[in-house]
Amino acid sequence: MYAFLTGPMLWVALLVFFGGLTARVVWYVRGLSWQLDRVAYGPHLAHGLKGGIHSALKWMLPFGTQSWREQPYFAVAFFLFHIGAVLVPLFLAGHNIILAERFGFSLPALPMGIADALTVAAIIGLVMIALRRIALTEVRILTTAYDWFILAVSAAPFVTGFVARLHVGNYEAWLLAHIITGELMLIVAPFTKLSHIVLFFMSRGQIGMDYAIKRGGYSRGAAFPW
């Protein structure tokens, strides 16, 4: 079972994940239309991209935007989760051992203590996000079962992985649960809101280009004050 999940199944999961997300990016860009979006992407590409990159970077910086500063609770929750969600899967020592074994290459590994801290932070972030979803009427009215599903799919690999790491209960079972939920996340990502893993950059890039090319980028005299 373990061999299958970390062998052929891992291949499938990674192919779906990377292939699917690449397709989403390609479709997104191909579906942009200067007439329908009313943004002249082509003639102002370099200027536009500068605005697009600025728009994405600002939002990736904790408290980098007015919106993050006005909502510190959510900003903290968001970054606690997302920093762990990006770093831990990529740079966890355990993951890289598998990478090295199966694919013959590996990424630098995080020291165990830091990986633990990031994992705990990510789980805390997720709990904060879930509590906010329940507590605030303006978020509750938007919330659907689908949102809870996405939250669960994102939480499961962290929780199972961390339990396995702590060696409480049945290690083998938790490890399998971790691998299964991790691969599930990879497989559903391109087909769900998790596609924001790449579409965040597309969407942020687009609105940044929109403001840079059309909505004052040439007259504002400064970058757009996100």
Partner 1 sequence: MPEGTFCNRRPVNTEEDLKALLGDKGGAQYYKEMAELEVDVEALKATLQKTLQSRTKTWLEICAHCGMCADSCFLYRVNERDPKQVPAYKIQSTLGEIVRKKGEVDTAFMMRTMEVAWSQCTCCNRCGMYCPHGIDMGVMFSYLRGLLFSQGFVPWELKIGSGMHRVYGAQMDVTTEDWVETCEWMAEEQQEEWPGLEIPVDKEDADTMYVLNAREPKHYPEDLAEAAILFHLAGENWTVPSEGWEQTSLTMFAGDWAGCKMQVERVYAAVDKLRPKRVVGTECGHAHRATVIEGPYWAGRADGRTPVPFLHYVEWVSEALTTGKLKIDPEKRIKEPVTLQDSCNYVRNHGLAKHTRIIMSYIAEDFHEMAPNREHNYCCGGGGGFNGIGRYRHQRNVALKTKRDQILATGCKLVVAPCHNCWDAIRDLEEEYEIGIRWSFLKPLLISMVIVPEHLKPQEEDE
Q: Which residues does 89 contact at the CB level (< 8 Å), separation at least 6? A: 95, 157, 182
Q: Is residue 191 part of the contact set for partner 1 (CB under 8 A)?
A: no
CB of residue 27 vs partner 1: minimum separation in angstroms? Answer: 6
Q: Counting beta carbons within 10 angstroms of the beta carbon of residue 43, is it exposed (0 to 12), middle (13 to 18) or buried (19 or more)?
A: exposed
CB of residue 45 vs partner 1: minimum separation in angstroms? Answer: 12
20-49: which residues touch partner 1 (CB under 8 A)?
A: 27-40, 42-44
- Nearest CB to partner 1, comparing residues 108 and 137: 137
Give the whole-angstrom CA distance, residue 152 versus residue 127. Answer: 11
Interface pattern 138-167 for partner 1 (x via CB under 8 A) = xxxxxxx--x--------------------
Give the whole-angstrom CA distance, residue 21 versus residue 82. Answer: 18
CB of residue 158 vs partner 1: minimum separation in angstroms? Answer: 18
CB of residue 13 vs partner 1: minimum separation in angstroms? Answer: 21
Q: Counting beta carbons within 10 angstroms of the beta carbon of residue 18, is it exposed (0 to 12), middle (13 to 18) or buried (19 or more)?
A: middle
Q: Is residue 217 part of the contact set for partner 1 (CB under 8 A)?
A: yes
Q: Is residue 71 part of the contact set for partner 1 (CB under 8 A)?
A: yes
Q: Is residue 137 part of the contact set for partner 1 (CB under 8 A)?
A: yes
- Nearest CB to partner 1, comparing residues 114 and 142: 142
Q: Is residue 206 part of the contact set for partner 1 (CB under 8 A)?
A: yes
CB of residue 168 vs partner 1: minimum separation in angstroms? Answer: 32
The binding site for partner 1 (CB under 8 A) comprises 27-40, 42-44, 55, 59, 66-67, 70-71, 74, 78, 136-144, 147, 193, 195-196, 199-200, 202-204, 206-208, 210, 213-221, 224-226
